Amino acid sequence: MKIAVTSTGKTLDSQIDPRFGRAAFFIIIDTETMDYSVIENESVVAGSGAGVSSAKTVIDAGAKAVLTGNFGPNAHRTLQAAAIQLYNQLSGKVSDAVELFKNGKLNTSDEPNVNSHFGMDS
Amino acid sequence: MSQSYVIAIASGKGGTGKTTIAVNLAAYCARSNSKVQYLDCDVEEPNGHIFLKPKINIKKDVTVQIPQVDSEKCIGCGKCGKICRFSAIVHIKDNKVLTFEQLCHSCGGCIRVCPTDAIRPKKLKIGDIEIGQSDNLDFVQGKLNIGNIRTPSLIKEVKTQIKKDYLSIIDVPPGTSCSVVEAVKGTDFVILVTEPTPFGLNDLKLAVGLVKKMKLPFAVAINRDGLGNDQVEKYCRTENIDIALKLPDDRAIARAYSTGQLILDQHEKSFSNLFKFVKNIRSKRYAKR
């Protein structure tokens, strides 16, 4: 299964980026093989709508689940429309979060947990 | 003074006294029996009505157009999402398309590129304009719905109320953003209100940059004169910018403001001078034609 994790860096040892829409990178990981690719997030510099365009990026990358720190309302709505599983309030190393996910230790998030523009301040 | 003339009262910094100057100038003109109109384009927080106390006669809804997608007709090509610079419309997969009305700028791009006519415009109310009268002064204000960000669209609607053969005074929102550009666009003259402080000077320079870029003639009004330092005046001298008004730093003005009163009685001379300044630039403009 392909999953996307928001990351501050380009490796599995990088820290999870707490922001979804304005995450520095998306790491797309195949949970069976642990092969991964890195997408630099162009929405970091978007004037507005970063949550929506970031969601579109991970949808198009084929991810079926997203692991991050926080989802705003627009990102949440877009990802849910694509029936992607959402996990938030994660921090620490990307690889650790992936392990927790693989072991079924994470709970899905049914609601956005921050307001619009949260990622603009952090 | 029978020809139309539109003067914008703007400022880089907020709280410098745009409204104080705009409403008192408008009231002074009305007292002098000029055909004058006050338009509050500070639509996120219009407060000129507090001082002019108009009787509102007409109230109109202001709407913009946002896209509505007919999923029956959608073929899932994704062109709508690609053209939108604001991510206000996004293609998920198949014929599933989401729209975000609060991100939409009503450019109509998605409607145009849709090959199957699956997207139609839908009206969304963003606020109101109110038109009224205060003695013999024409009053117009825009009120943007709380939480809405379509400020320029609403300002554009307020400005459609500009009357021919009037002196129209526009109360501009503070800053140098899109909404300010929309409010000062097409005006005949801009008065940039500032205060003689380092903050006032910094933001005045930004505002001067904006009006110069828009090639609008302008002058400066210094409010709370006597406060701070002389750097604003020095700047104006160096840059050859006219100072149209100096309003003193007077506690009585603050007191009047806090109770919604005009300050014409205490500072009539200042506004009569400003009125003369406006008359002068207006007649120069028409002499040139």
Question: Contact A52/B90, CB-based, under 8 Å?
Answer: yes
Residue A56 lies in a domain: yes
Question: Contact B92/A53, CB-based, under 8 Å?
Answer: no
For residue B171, the model assigns a pLDDT of 98
Using DSSP, how many helices (H) and how many strands (E) does chain B show?
A: 10, 11
Question: Contact A59/B92, CB-based, under 8 Å?
Answer: yes
Measured between alpha carbons, how far is B130 from B4 in angstroms, rounded to an integer?
21
| Residues β-bridged to residue B193 | B221
For residue B86, the chain A residues in CB contact (below 8 A) are 47-49
Residue B245, classed as helix, strand or coil, is strand
Which of A49, A59, A82 lies nearest to residue B103, judging by beta carbons?
A: A49
Question: Is pLDDT at A122 greater than 60 in this prediction?
Answer: no
- CATH number of the domain that residue A98 is part of: 3.30.420.130
Enumerate domains of chain B plus CATH numbers: 5-62+128-288 (3.40.50.300), 71-117 (3.30.70.20)
Residue A35 lies in a domain: yes
* Residue A116: band (very low, low, confident or very high) from pLDDT cuts 50, 70, 90: confident
For residue A107, the model assigns a pLDDT of 87
pLDDT higher at A1 or B33 = A1
Mutate to test the interface with B, among A74, A84, A117, A120 (most CBs of B within 10 A): A74
pLDDT higher at B233 or A109 = B233
How far does the CA of residue A16 sit from the closest CA of chain B (Å)? 24
| A65-67 and A36-40 strand pairing | unpaired
Measured between alpha carbons, how far is B27 from B143 in angstroms, rounded to an integer?
21
A24 burial via Cβ count (<10 Å: 0-12, 13-18, 19+): middle
- C-beta separation of A1 from A32 below 8 A: yes
Q: Which residue has the tokens 């304009």?
A: B129
E strands, chain B, are 5-10, 36-40, 55-69, 89-93, 96-99, 119-134, 137-144, 167-171, 189-194, 218-225, 243-248
For residue A54, the model assigns a pLDDT of 97
Phi, psi of B125 (to 5 degrees): -75, 130
| Residue B36: C-alpha distances to residues A101, B22, B25, B101, B168 (Å) | 68, 12, 10, 37, 6
Q: Is the ipTM of this complex over 0.95?
A: no
- C-beta separation of B37 from B167 below 8 A: yes
Question: Contact B103/A50, CB-based, under 8 Å?
Answer: no
A47 touches chain B (CB under 8 A): yes
Mean pLDDT, residues B188-210 taken together: 97
Q: Which residue of A has its CA nearest to B94?
A: A82
For residue B90, the model assigns a pLDDT of 96
| Residue A63: C-alpha distances to residues A26, B32, B175 (Å) | 10, 70, 42
Compute the C-alpha angle B134/B136/B138, nearest 5°.
Answer: 60
pLDDT tens digits along A63-94: 999 999 999 999 999 999 999 999 999 999 99
Question: Contact B92/A82, CB-based, under 8 Å?
Answer: yes
Q: Which residue of A has its CA nearest to B93?
A: A82
**Host domain of residue A57:** 2-117
Measured between alpha carbons, how far is B278 from B282 in angstroms, rounded to an integer?
6
Mutate to test the interface with A, among B87, B151, B177 (most CBs of A within 10 A): B87
Report residue B149 as tokens. 């960000």
Measured between alpha carbons, how far is A68 from A109 in angstroms, rounded to an integer?
11
Question: Is pLDDT at B115 greater than 60 in this prediction?
Answer: yes
Half-sphere exposure of B99 (CA within 13 A, CB side): 20
- Which pairs count as long-range contacts for A54-57, CB under 8 Å and 24+ apart, including other chains? A54/A20, A54/A21, A54/A22, A54/A23, A54/A26, A55/A20, A55/A21, A55/A79, A55/A82, A55/B90, A56/B81, A56/B87, A56/B90, A56/B91, A57/A26
Measured between alpha carbons, how far is B225 from B233 in angstroms, rounded to an integer?
10
Residue A122 lies in a domain: no
Question: Contact A78/B93, CB-based, under 8 Å?
Answer: no
Residue A64 lies in a domain: yes
Mean pLDDT, residues B137-146 taken together: 97
* Residue A53: band (very low, low, confident or very high) from pLDDT cuts 50, 70, 90: very high
Q: Which residue has the tokens 């002058």?
A: B219
Question: Contact B90/A47, CB-based, under 8 Å?
Answer: no
DSSP string, A19-86: BSTT-SEEEEEETTT--EEEEE-GGGG-SS-HHHHHHHHHHHTT-SEEE-SB--HHHHHHHHHTT-EE
Q: Note the pTM of the prediction, 2 decimals.
A: 0.82
For residue B1, the model assigns a pLDDT of 46
Question: How many domains, in total, are found in chain A?
Answer: 1
* Residue B2: band (very low, low, confident or very high) from pLDDT cuts 50, 70, 90: low
Which of B88, B93, B100 lies nearest to residue A82, judging by beta carbons?
A: B93
Q: Which residue of B has its CA nearest to A48?
A: B86
For residue B272, the model assigns a pLDDT of 95
For residue B81, the chain A residues in CB contact (below 8 A) are 56
* Residue B289: band (very low, low, confident or very high) from pLDDT cuts 50, 70, 90: low
Question: Contact A52/B96, CB-based, under 8 Å?
Answer: no
For residue B244, the model assigns a pLDDT of 96
Residue A78 lies in a domain: yes
In the predicted model, what is the mean pLDDT of chain B? 95
Question: Contact B87/A52, CB-based, under 8 Å?
Answer: yes
pLDDT tens digits along B203-251: 999 999 999 999 999 999 999 999 999 999 999 999 999 999 999 999 9
Residue A55 lies in a domain: yes
A107 burial via Cβ count (<10 Å: 0-12, 13-18, 19+): exposed
Measured between alpha carbons, how far is B175 from B207 in angstroms, rounded to an integer?
7
